[in-house]
Structure 1
């Protein structure tokens, strides 16, 4: 898929998802934010860039810990939702920008920390985005990527499922791929930590906008995977409802001085 066509797909999907995405409680789980704080070591001296920030859930969370946070996203509706959340939280140390994260509109070494969450599986060229994150990060600064990471042998099945749910999905990276990119970029002090993000299937489908008929395919695939885990998401039942886990990795690295 060409870049412009893919960007249109992202904007289409996330214009519709802006409000429901922000309202899914598991996206604002405080224990998961705490893991990000702890692994990144964010503090009041940090100037942070949150790329592909969506409705600003991570941006506003980090704004409570950092000196200043800038959030950038390609979808105007997401930025508008982010501004609403910022206002509700009464935070002033935030700047918002609309833009393409594959070519960040910032000077080299502009931020002490550059972060992103749940975005890499939407990028056609994740290595290019990772490279841009390094470029705008100060020497000695930290880069953090948080995303679903699927075992290699299960990724094709998982990608098929996610493309049904969200046509703007490209592919889920494996941990090995993320580590390989970090190595190519000569980043140092690499740390990783896993967590599981549990989601209820029907709520996730409702918050997404699959093409007509694909919701039935999603239900069938996930239901049939209970007890098998060929999709890598540990589909399971709780009180008669189907749940699953997004296996998520936090990767933090340092840009050498």
Structure 2
């Protein structure tokens, strides 16, 4: 029986370089926001949860005493450690594992940052519980992720193209779902912002090595979509589109 974690590992085991070199992943207005939170709170030990190509790690390492690059895929962790060494970021360590079972002591992490990772997790409520456990009191967790939608026609379209492009996709959660996850885990909601992410269709599918028949299905769905869907996602003639992104800051109470 193949687990969701195994599907995820199979999908990403040969794509670390693609994510390292991805402009979408390397750039974003959220990096400065993350650094402001870290600097204001003087956080020392930070977990980059679902580190992928390591862009969060590279941005925040100069501001903290230690960054833990953590990912389900060992190749991603190894790449980040190599890049950190080349960039003289000597305070970066790496560890492989799932978000749902963090190998860290209770109250041992000052801050957790997770960017474009949670939509791959097998069990977000369980991961949130683990994050809450390892965070120190007054510690923060910062999530950046693609948002699902409460309107069925918009949400069905988004989830469909995501999983056709990448079979390891689980779900882009709506803001209401995120609020429920946060509150049930015990977090206080500090900040919620939305931003738009423009995605070039060709690089989007190339990064995931999406097979030609799946690419054809994606284009078919885009072309057959209603005007409501096309306008909301700003679907262009070449297939490029935009998604809504959540920037969420939560705090663990004292």
For the criterion TM > 0.5, the same-fold answer is yes
Asked if residue 248 in structure 1 is aligned to residue 249 in structure 2, the reply is no
Matched residue pairs, number?
252
Q: CA–CA distance in 2 between the matches of 1:176 and 1:45? A: 28
Q: Counterparts in 2 of 1:47-196, with a 5 A limit?
A: 47-153=45-151, 154-196=154-196
Q: CA–CA distance in 2 between the matches of 1:236 and 1:41? A: 39
Judged with a 3 Å threshold, the aligned counterparts in structure 2 of structure 1 residues 227 and 51 are, in CA distance, closer, same or farther, namely: same
* Residues 120-146 of structure 1: CA deviation (Å, up to 9, x unaligned): 111221111111111100001101111
Asked if residue 213 in structure 1 is aligned to residue 210 in structure 2, the reply is no
TM-score by length of 1: 0.90
The CA deviation at 1:162 is: 0.5
Q: Which moved more, 1:35-44 or 1:96-105?
A: 35-44
Asked if residue 198 in structure 1 is aligned to residue 198 in structure 2, the reply is yes
Judged with a 3 Å threshold, the aligned counterparts in structure 2 of structure 1 residues 185 and 14 are, in CA distance, closer, same or farther, namely: same
Structure 1 contact 111–137 (Cα < 8 Å) conserved: yes
Q: CA–CA distance in 2 between the matches of 1:12 and 1:168? A: 9
* Residues 65-110 of structure 1: CA deviation (Å, up to 9, x unaligned): 2221111111111112212321232201111001122110000001
SS of equivalent to 1:152: coil
| Counterpart in the other structure of 1:8 | 6
Q: Which moved more, 1:31-40 or 1:65-74?
A: 31-40
SS of equivalent to 1:35: helix
* Residues 194-224 of structure 1: CA deviation (Å, up to 9, x unaligned): 1112110001111113345111111222344
Q: CA–CA distance in 2 between the matches of 1:224 and 1:37? A: 42
Q: CA–CA distance in 2 between the matches of 1:214 and 1:242? A: 13
* Residues 145-165 of structure 1: CA deviation (Å, up to 9, x unaligned): 111112122222211110000
Judged with a 3 Å threshold, the aligned counterparts in structure 2 of structure 1 residues 32 and 190 are, in CA distance, closer, same or farther, namely: closer
Q: CA–CA distance in 1 between the matches of 2:40 and 2:55? A: 16
Structure 1 contact 109–136 (Cα < 8 Å) conserved: yes
Q: CA–CA distance in 2 between the matches of 1:126 and 1:41? A: 27
SS of equivalent to 2:240: strand
TM-score by length of 2: 0.91
Structure 1 contact 42–65 (Cα < 8 Å) conserved: no
Structure 1 contact 157–231 (Cα < 8 Å) conserved: no
Judged with a 3 Å threshold, the aligned counterparts in structure 2 of structure 1 residues 91 and 181 are, in CA distance, closer, same or farther, namely: same
Unaligned runs of 5+ in 1: none
The CA deviation at 1:50 is: 1.2
